Amino acid sequence: MKNILISGYYGMNNTGDDALLAVTSWGGKRFLKADKIIVTAVQVPLFNGSHFIYPAFLKKKHFIGENRLRLYYHAFKAQNIILGGGSVLHSSNSMKGIIDLLKLSGKGPHVALGVSIGPFRDLKAEKVCSSLLKRLSFVGLRDQSSFEIAKQIAPCVQIEKTFDLAVLLPKSLGYSIEQIKSDITRRGIGLALCNYERYIGGDTNREKVCKQKVLQVLSKLYPEEIDEIVLIDFNGHPFYGDHELHSEIAERLKSRFYVKHLFYNSDPIVVLKWIASLRCLIAMRLHAAVFGYMTQTPTIMLPYHVKCLAWASEIKMPLELILCRDSFEVDELIMRIREIIAGRASSPSLPLKVAETLAMRNWIWEGSSYREDDQAAIF
């Protein structure tokens, strides 16, 4: 039996990570011929095909350190380790932990697919990242900045510029974008916001200012021009998630607008359909913007992290649709929303088919069973 361990930030009620896990596990089964996939999580989100994915950790531990021992055991039993998507290569401690897993596991190949690198969280992180990359047979980077960093710190490693794995989500779960968008009437403005500063121990006043400005924007619009407001929780974590923020916004606006608050759903296809049903999306969450791109939902980004800007650059998003979270003007956001509602806004210039082809490059490396006819069958 061939076991694969997928290492990342999974099972934490985050739709973006759920999408990345769905695609990574699909590729592990199809191209690495895995019989069993273990994932670094205490729970596996429920989506089509998740029945062959097993969590490495227990929710209720019998003794201190049990989950660490379980992780080492699964690494020892794994023939391959995949780092699948997300900004996972940034801190010394997390990367040292991955190196420990690679030392324990089989001969591989071990790979990083659709990942980004940085910003490094401490001074030692760049050196540790270099050591980690040198232990991998293949590294697929989802943005140009990460690619340039990787080539500089690990020039001898097989490194390729690929794409975010999430654009393969429908294909990996047996859907097409046309199916996702079928029989849908677009209505309303969607919001996928987040409180990032509390997660990093930053200045939470920046969160408050952004929230107040978004509320000012929405309160200056007319109910008849936007139909409804749809708040989508991309992260369902009880503290770091989006529920508290979105609930407060819903409470403030419900007397003026018809407001829907959609809670975290463990099936990313359901969330993709939510995004596809919108006339306009205001996205702070990275993978909300990714879902907007996939469904051709006009999207305005309020980036909270450099990885959001990197994504916007990759899809060649119009600059006027990228507004600084900390300094955007209320009137400017209102103008962009009304341009979208009137059908006058520009769209990202990178075709989705090209993005999907680039994402498939994550599976083209020595040791994978990828064949040229695979791409024809998938697309």
Q: Which residue has the tokens 């503290």?
A: 239
Structure token pair of residue 124: 């030692």
In which region does residue 351 sit, left (phi positive, over 0), alpha (psi from -120 to 50) or beta (all else)? beta
The pTM (predicted TM-score) of the whole model is 0.95
Residue-by-residue pLDDT tens, the chain, 379 positions: 899 999 998 989 999 999 999 999 999 999 999 999 999 999 998 887 778 899 999 999 999 999 999 999 999 999 999 998 766 788 999 999 999 999 999 888 999 999 999 888 888 999 999 999 999 999 999 999 999 999 999 999 999 999 999 999 999 999 999 999 888 889 999 999 999 888 878 888 999 999 999 999 999 999 999 999 999 999 998 888 999 999 999 999 999 999 999 999 999 999 999 999 999 999 999 999 999 999 999 999 999 988 899 999 999 999 999 999 999 999 999 999 999 999 998 999 999 999 999 999 999 988 788 776 676 666 6
pLDDT number for residue 103: 96
pLDDT of residue 85: 78
Q: Residue 379's pLDDT is what?
A: 65
CA neighbor of 368 nearest in space, from 28, 40, 23: 28
End-to-end CA distance of the chain: 30
Domains of the chain, CATH where assigned: 3-174+354-378 (3.40.50), 178-314+316-349 (3.40.50.2000)
Q: Which long-range contacts (CB under 8 A, 24 or more apart) does 312-316 make?
A: 313/143, 313/144, 314/142, 314/143, 314/144, 314/163, 314/164, 314/350, 314/355, 315/348, 315/349, 315/350, 315/355, 316/348, 316/349, 316/350
Those residues with Cβ within 8 angstroms of residue 83's Cβ, 6 or more apart along the chain or in another chain: 6, 7, 8, 89, 98, 111, 112, 113, 115, 136
**pLDDT (0 to 100) of residue 133:** 97
Dist. CA 32–CA 26, nearest whole Å:
10
pLDDT at residue 80 in the model? 95
pLDDT of res. 375: 67
Query: Closest by alpha carbon to 44, among 62, 63, 64, 25?
Result: 25
**What pLDDT is attached to residue 266?**
92
Rounded CA separation 22/165 (Å): 9
- At residue 369, the pLDDT reads 80
Reference 109, options 375, 372, 362, 377; nearest CA is: 362
Tokens of 10: 């999974």
**Which residue type is seen at 242?**
D
**pLDDT at site 376:** 65
Helices (H), 260-360: 268-276, 286-294, 306-314, 330-341, 352-360
Q: Is the sign of the CA dihedral 308, 195, 89, 268 positive or negative?
A: negative
Quick one: pLDDT at residue 100? 97
